[in-house]
Amino acid sequence: MVLIGGYALRAFTSFSRYTRDCDFVLKRAESWSLDRIQKLLSKDMSTDTCEKQGTHGFMRCIKLLGAGAKISIDFMEGEVRGRTDEQVFVVTEKFLQKANKVKITIAREEYEMYVPDYTDYLILKLMSARPSDIRDIATLVWKRGIPHDLKEEAKKTLAYRR
């Protein structure tokens, strides 16, 4: 599994931001990995959403905390889908091979996790383009620059091409 989203930002810059969820992606397997993950989850987490549609699946798991707060963990299998049908990032073996194992601090604890390489992470952020992603993109470009291969990699990575 590869960590994406707001928590993965910590692998690329010292700036971190508040996020409501933790996002993971994994390659589509012959049988659904989402089913195996669901069985491994802690008993105090529940499945809020689980959708499996041929080439991709999505599962959101939540844990209710006190005072109505909740945490959620999202799993995307096979593809990361954007806001439109044209925005599809396919999770390939190459994507997984380029991922880097890093230490990320969450609530004063350090965890080793895989994150996408910088170019793939930036493509995912550009595809999502929510206001929080735009701020992340600005920070990433300010601190790390624009990858020289961004355009070519985006063309190879995204499933939908004009």
Give the start-to-end residue ranges of the domains of the chain.
2-157
A 10 A CB-CB count for 148 gives 9
A 10 A CB-CB count for 138 gives 10
Q: What is the pLDDT of residues 62-100, one digit of tens each?
A: 988 877 788 899 999 999 987 777 788 999 999 999 999
Residue type, 80: V
pLDDT of residue 160: 58
- Is the separation of the CB atoms in 25 and 4 below 8 Å? yes
pLDDT of residue 159: 65
Regarding pTM above 0.85, the answer is: yes
Q: What is the pLDDT of residues 127-151, one digit of tens each?
A: 888 888 889 999 999 999 999 999 8
